[in-house]
Amino acid sequence: MSPFKQRVIQIVRAVPRGKIVSYGQVALYAGAPRAAREVGWVLHATEGSDLPWWRVINKAGVITIRGALFVDKEIQKKLLVAEGVEVSDSFKVDMKKYRFVATDKQLREFELPEEYIGTIIRQKGF
């Protein structure tokens, strides 16, 4: 398993109940700012594990799950609603309200280079 995958898993696990992160955000925390699509790939590949994959959606706050065999938008919506996250009929979530932002301490636990953490902190919006 690649280090990237390991980090993605670790990061997603750090997302608390009722909170949401975007793929790009996870990619950023994982040290690969432009690897958002790979995050989706990793989640897909780890289907069946205890990973809270449903807390990862796209940046616009929309559930964009595609072509999954055993999971679909409805399932994900249900899982989120069960945690107290409001999901609209068009599968949209209020990111401003539910977005999870990693603390400095957590970022350090992700074992990223010190200067890279500075880069992340400098990033205001995603």
Partner DNA sequence: ATCTTGACTTGCC
Partner DNA sequence: CGGCAAGCCAAGA
CB of residue 118 to DNA, shortest distance in Å: 18
Task: Tell which one of 13, 17, 47, 94 touches DNA (CB under 7 A).
Answer: 47
Q: How far is CA 30 from CA 15, 74, 83, in A?
A: 14, 28, 25
Task: Name the residue among 31, 47, 37, 29 with its Cα closest to residue 126.
Answer: 29
CB of residue 65 to DNA, shortest distance in Å: 4
CB of residue 83 to DNA, shortest distance in Å: 15
Q: What is the DSSP letter of 15?
A: S
- 102 lies in the binding site for DNA (CB under 7 A): no
Backbone angles phi, psi at 2, to 5 degrees: -75, 155
Binding-site string for DNA from residue 50 to residue 69, where x marks contact by CB under 7 A and - marks none:
---xx-x-xxx---xxxxx-
CB atoms < 10 A from the CB of 15, how many? 21
Which positions touch DNA (CB under 7 A)? 2, 4-5, 22-25, 32, 34-41, 43-45, 47, 53-54, 56, 58-60, 64-68, 71, 126
